[in-house]
Amino acid sequence: MRRLLPALLAALALAAPALASERHPTLAQLESRIMCPICHTTLDQSDSPIARRMKAFISQRIAAGDSMSQIEDKLVAQFGPAVLASPSRRGFNLLVWVLPPVGIVLAAIVLGVFAFRWSRSREPATAAGPPLDPELERRLDEELARFDH
């Protein structure tokens, strides 16, 4: 429980600002999450007529009290899902968020299995080598003892 407590506190510390920005987003936050449909950059990097119009729309919706999700949904209804700089975490798009970490975990497992098998396959070769000639072993011990002194 003592180990879990810092993790829970950290999660709470991160969740609070995320919840606040979801409920009361700023124009700057949304400008970096929304694409300008004709310039293919985010709104904060565009000054095209439609980008300016979209910024004005976002400001109006913020003033009206819309949440970040509500504003994004309204923009998606007008311009399609490509208006979001990163895909939504719903339906098929969820794969975009799930597959990379799953791929990394799978790759780590495969690498681990290969590394384990590789190390195991080397051990018998060392252990089961041909026995040394007693005379050679004696001489080797003598040489090593002399080397130590």
Partner 1 sequence: MTARRLKLGAQAAAVAVVAGLLAILGWRLSHQGNGGVARAVAHGKRPVAPGFVLPSLYGKGDVRLTSLRGKVVVLNFWASWCAPCKQEAPHFESASKRYASRGVVVIGVDVNDFTGDAKHFARRYGVTYPLLHDGSGKTLGPYGVSLLPETFVIDRGGRVLDDRVPGELTGAQLDASIRRALRS
Nearer to partner 1, 82 or 96 (CB): 82
Q: Determine the Cα–Cα distance for residues 27 and 22; give it in Å rounded to an integer.
A: 12
99 binds partner 1 (CB under 8 A): no
67 in contact with partner 1 (CB under 8 A): no
β-partners of residue 34 are 84
Task: Provide, rounded to whole angstroms, the least separation between the CB of residue 83 and partner 1.
Answer: 8
How far apart CA 90 and CA 97 sit, in angstroms, is 10
Among 23, 49, 60, 69, binds partner 1 (CB under 8 A): 49
Residue 57 binding partner 1, by CB under 8 A? yes
Around Cβ 34, how many Cβ atoms within 10 Å?
25
Does position 89 interact with partner 1 (CB under 8 A)? The reply is: no
Copy the structure tokens of residue 30. Answer: 């949304």
User: Could you say whether residue 121 binds partner 1 (CB under 8 A)?
Assistant: yes
Picking from 87, 74, 83, the residue whose alpha carbon sits closest to that of residue 39 is 83
Amino acid at 69: S
Q: Give, as one character, the DSSP assignment of residue 1.
A: -
The residues, ordered by sequence, that sit 6+ positions from 97 with a Cβ below 8 Å of its Cβ are 87, 89
Rounded to 10 degrees, what is the CA torsion of 138, 141, 146, 149?
Answer: -140
- Residue number with CB closer to partner 1 (9 or 38): 38
Determine if 100 is a binding residue for partner 1 (CB under 8 A): no
**50 near partner 1, rule: CB under 8 A:** yes
- By CB under 8 A, residue 70 contacts partner 1: no
In angstroms, what is the minimal distance from the CB of 90 to partner 1?
17
* Interacting residues with partner 1 (CB under 8 A): 37-38, 49-50, 53, 57, 77-83, 110, 113, 117, 121
